[in-house]
Amino acid sequence: MGAPIILELGGKNPALVSRNANLDEAATGIVRSAFGLQGQKCSACSRVFVEEPVYEELSQKLVKMTENLVIGDPPSGR
């Protein structure tokens, strides 16, 4: 089984998800990479390539996780 890696690819950074991946970990990593730090980092995930046998399950996990993101002004530190 492969190990997770991060590559800076000029703003076209894909996540590759195989049928052997832990889909919970993959979904968490994709959401954190795409939306963490407002996506303003060199290695932010901008696309996902998924093996067909796990596409639907991963898609459902990603939709659920992104629907739960809170968007807006951060809390004040005061």
Give Rg (Cα) of the chain. Answer: 14
Determine whether 42 is an active site residue.
yes
Please identify which of the residues 8, 51, 56, 57 carries the catalytic annotation. 8
Residue type, 53: P
Query: Which residue in 64, 72, 74 sits closest to 31, CA to CA?
Result: 64
| Cα separation, 15 vs 7, whole angstroms | 10
Determine whether 45 is an active site residue.
no
Please identify which of the residues 25, 42, 56, 57 carries the catalytic annotation. 42
Q: Which residues are catalytic?
A: 8, 42
